[in-house]
Amino acid sequence: MSSFQPWIKRYSGAGGGAALVFPHAGGAALAYRALGAALAAGGSDTYVMQYPQRGDRLTHPAPETVGDLAADLFDGGDWAGLGPLRLFGHCMGAVVAFEFARVAESKGIAVDSLWVSASEAPSTVAAAPALPMAEAEIIAEMVDLGGTDPQLLADDDFVELLLLAVRADYAAFNRYACDEGVRIAADIHTLGGDADHRVNENMLRRWETHTTGAFTVSMFDGGHFYINEHIAEVAELVHAL
């Protein structure tokens, strides 16, 4: 019997440790296939998370909070046997990864580093405007952020499934709060796009308060989904530090 749920997508690497990837709000594991493969090619076994309410977890209940989602993902695998973990999260996925790190560290599982991509710091989420829940506003949000093929947004069946996933994630995120003094021992490395109109470098730097370890900021050309054009460079950076 496998020690990992089938909805955790694994990409085999030849090195030690493991990299875990946490998608953005509404994102499916399939969208991170290229990053998963690139991280695995760099050496680490890579595991891409699948959140409830999409893909092969379509019928799984939506989590109440980001903390509940992180706990659900943690329970999906035997992480203790993998060696030091490297966590990578994009946008909301970075906050999910942060909460996952808190769970892992509380259970004595070593987390080497948290890689934060295009995300506001946990302690700033509660004060930010609530994410939209109405269909028209969610679609407008997807268009504004980029990262979703406009042709897909014209497909009613796709939009129906997208709304299910986004609403589940947005609701959990809107209920999230974290004090500025909450810290993890893992190093935090932040990444962002220099043309991202949602998350700028100053916002990324707010993550420094959430680690007792090392902290770095790296900026790339591009917007909120800069990562789509820099997969190889991001994977190389994750393995270099």
DSSP H helices in 127-230? 135-145, 156-174, 201-205
**Do the domain assignments include residue 4?**
no
Q: Is the pLDDT of residue 81 over 90?
A: no
User: Tell me, what's the pLDDT at 2?
Assistant: 66
- R_g of the chain computed on alpha carbons: 16
**Do the domain assignments include residue 3?**
no
User: Tell me, what's the pLDDT at 17?
Assistant: 84
Q: Is the pLDDT of residue 1 over 70?
A: no
**Do the domain assignments include residue 132?**
yes
**Do the domain assignments include residue 2?**
no
What is the pLDDT averaged over residues 160-187?
A: 97
Which domain, by its residues, includes 211? 9-240
Q: Is residue 225 very low, low, confident or very high in pLDDT (cuts 50, 70, 90)?
A: very high
**Do the domain assignments include residue 130?**
yes
Average pLDDT, the chain: 95
User: Tell me, what's the pLDDT at 66?
Assistant: 98
**Do the domain assignments include residue 22?**
yes
**Do the domain assignments include residue 101?**
yes
CATH of the domain at 134: 3.40.50.1820
**Lowest mean per-residue pLDDT among 8-17, 110-119, 170-179, 191-200:** 8-17
**Do the domain assignments include residue 102?**
yes
The total of structural domains in the chain comes to: 1
Place of tokens 């190093």: 187
What is the pLDDT averaged over residues 137-158?
A: 86
